[in-house]
Amino acid sequence: MTNAIKGAGLGLRRDFSARLSDIASEDVDFFEVAPENWIGIGGRFKKQLHSCTERFPLTLHGLSLDIGGVAPLNVSLLNDIKHFMAEYNCSLYSEHLTYCSDHGQLYDLMPIPFTAEAVHYVAARVRQAQDILERRIALENASYYAAPGQEMTELEFINAVIAEADCDLLLDVNNIYVNSINHNYDAETFLYGLPVDRAHYIHIAGHYVEAEDLRVDTHGADVIHPVWELLRLAYQRFGVLPTLLERDFNIPPIPQLLSEVQSIRAMQEAMSADSTQTAGRG
């Protein structure tokens, strides 16, 4: 039986995986890992992962499935992920709506052209992945800095892929904010244009301010107020979904990380209370 996630989570990084004993179950509701970084590992890292999954539910967020790439899907990776999910009772696997290889790993997440042809191509690959995994996957709305060959908006593209692939949405509110600055659109309008019934999970993170009109999605800073506000709007729109804090570098001491996780939980509790009171008045 899989462990369903709920509440406020944290991305598990090897930088602090040895210090999991410093994190109580009251501090974090679940952890997320990139399966590519943990599949097949042994020794102390495997022990640390086992220690984590004995205390916390685990969810997976992939980095290299290359869902928009030109090479055939990596069936071997998908089978490894399927076995990993079974071994650690993972309830969710998500990936980025991007491509990441060109006759070799690019070690970056590149934008898929927003075209009808790309919609059909990507949706077919998502369906193939779901058939292998025997479960639905969630695709994340990604940050991007160019839109080559664009025939439709980012929002239209995301909605079309999700509908045709019959998959779920991982809603990244920081990516919405970053893209809204970089591509000059209204973040709230974009948020409210996404399908309510497909969103089951949320990411939040910090970013880097390169210029007034350029933000870089780094996961290397604290979350700023406009992104927290977008999370609040997301809860209003989609309900209080499980939400994960991402921090990939410039990782602060654990108490500071947990403070941001607690900010997520506080907002979830406040929004849940408001919803209950509204329902009671109704």
Q: How far, in whole angstroms, is CA 257 from its chain's centroid? A: 18
User: Residue 278 — very low, low, confident or very high, per pLDDT cuts 50/70/90?
Assistant: low
Q: Give how many domains the chain has, as a whole number.
A: 1
In-domain check, residue 259: yes
pLDDT, the chain, mean: 92
Q: Is residue 3 part of a domain?
A: no
pLDDT exceeds 60 at position 107: no
* Model confidence pLDDT, tens digit, residues 39-53: 988 898 899 899 899
Give me 257's structure tokens.
């990380």
Whether residue 2 is contained in a domain is answered as no
Nearest in space to 209 (alpha carbons), one of 191, 221, 197? 221
**Is position 1 within any domain?**
no
What does the block give as tokens for 162? 């999700």
Mean pLDDT of 81-98: 95
Sequence letter at residue 243: T
Question: Which tens digits make up the pLDDT trace of 133-147?
Answer: 999 999 999 999 988
**Residue 18, domain extent:** 8-281
Tell me whether residue 250 is in a domain.
yes
Beta strands 208-211; 214-216: pairing state: antiparallel
State residue 3's pLDDT score: 57
Per residue in 147-196, pLDDT (tens digit) is 888 999 999 999 999 999 999 999 999 999 999 999 999 999 999 999 99
Read off the CATH number of the domain in which 56 is found.
3.20.20.150
Most confident stretch, 1-5, 75-79, 110-114: 75-79
Structure tokens given for 269: 């509790």
pLDDT value, residue 122 = 97
Looking at the predicted structure, is the pLDDT value of residue 56 above 70? yes
pTM score > 0.75 for this model? yes
Of 110, 136, 212, 228, nearest to 176 by C-alpha is: 228
The pLDDT tens digits for 225-249 are: 999 999 999 999 999 999 999 999 8
Distance CA 3, CA 6 (A): 10
* Model pLDDT, residue 101: 59
Tell me which residue of 193, 15, 172 sits closest to 94, measured CA to CA. Answer: 172
Local confidence band at 1 (pLDDT 50, 70, 90 cut-offs): very low
143 CB contacts (<8 Å, ≥6 apart)? 109, 172, 174, 175, 178, 179, 182, 217
Residues 85 and 93 sit within 8 Å (Cβ to Cβ): yes
Phi then psi dihedrals of residue 107, to 5 deg: 55, 35
**How high is the pLDDT of residue 64?**
87
CB 77, CB 65: distance < 8 Å: yes
Q: Would you state the pLDDT for residue 99?
A: 79
